[in-house]
């Protein structure tokens, strides 16, 4: 299988931001499904200082060809100076589910 599909991971500062991004991506046909996972604790270095905070994770299911549009949309809606946007290819998946991704994102 070619890597036509991907999961994009994006962390958000709060549920309102996460919900807004998820709804926008679905409404605009850029994603078939977005899982919102609250309650993450992130520990990282930012500008030389150790930071820790609670975040909400988005798991965005989409087609690989839509990545540039998804990335651009997240950046435009996100409050972080440097939002985490990481793409992970889906190497295998239930054909009916992958077909649903196609149909949900405008590919027939």
Per domain, the residue ranges of the chain are: 5-104
pLDDT digits (tens, 9 = 90+) for 50-89: 999 999 999 999 999 999 999 999 999 999 999 999 999 9
Strands 5-12 and 49-63: antiparallel
Q: Which pTM was predicted?
A: 0.93
- Give me the CATH topology for the region 5-104: Alpha-Beta Plaits (3.30.70)
25 pLDDT above the threshold of 90: yes
One DSSP character per residue, 30-98 reads S-SEEEEEEEEEEEEEETTEEEEEEEEEEEEEEEGGGHHHHHHHHHHH--SSS--EEEEEE----HHHH
């Amino acid at each position: 299988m070619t890597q036509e599909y991907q999961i994009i991971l994006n962390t958000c500062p709060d549920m309102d931001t996460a919900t807004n991004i998820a709804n926008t991506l679905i409404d605009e046909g850029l994603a078939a499904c977005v899982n919102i996972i609250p309650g993450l604790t992130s520990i990282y270095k930012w500008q030389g200082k150790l930071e820790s905070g609670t975040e909400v994770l988005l798991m965005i299911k989409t087609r690989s060809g839509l990545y540039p549009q998804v990335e651009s949309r997240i950046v435009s809606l996100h409050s972080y100076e440097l939002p985490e946007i990481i793409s992970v290819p889906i190497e295998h998946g239930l054909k009916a589910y992958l077909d649903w991704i196609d149909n949900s994102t405008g590919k027939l």
